[in-house]
Amino acid sequence: MAIQIGDKLPDVTFMEATENGPEPRRTEDVFAGKKIALFAVPGAFTPTCSVKHLPSFTDHADEIRARGVDDIVCTAVNDAFVMGEWAKSENANGIRMLADGNGAFAKAIGLELDVSGFGMGSRSQRYSMLVEDGIVKQLNVEKGPAFEVSSGDYLLTQL
């Protein structure tokens, strides 16, 4: 069953590209005591993710933070190197990129997506959520290939 508003995020380990190489980040370390805007994309460098989804958060980052959000986090079932390079290529300053390389987080929250028919294997569904101290306060999961409710501007209306 997919995660719901009011649920606590599961304890998983992401990887984050740093100057010292990929470093592990536990859910608790990222979300404890903070208000986080989290969004997930099916894949870095893919068309909708690069042209619409990521820019919707970079374009509204200052407004989102002005409404009390401590950090904006993007996750995808890609490795830390890919996430780091994607952030650089898209000038995603202020967006924290957390790699869910094996899809453990997507699976643990019940939002994995099988796109093996497109040669992409198991990925994450497209969504956004507002998380306070590890608890889901808002959850916006797209239906199918749509891009309507998971954008930065949509989440901004919920803050």
In the set 30, 36, 49, 87, the catalytic residue is 49
User: Contacts from 113-121 at CB under 8 Å and sequence distance 24+?
Assistant: 113/42, 115/42, 120/42, 120/43, 121/77
Paired residues of 13 in beta bridges: 26
Active site annotation includes 49: yes
What secondary structure does DSSP assign to 106-125, as a single string?
Answer: HHHTT-EEE-GGGT--EEE-
Residue that is written with structure tokens 């740093």 in the block: 18
Catalytic residue IDs: 49
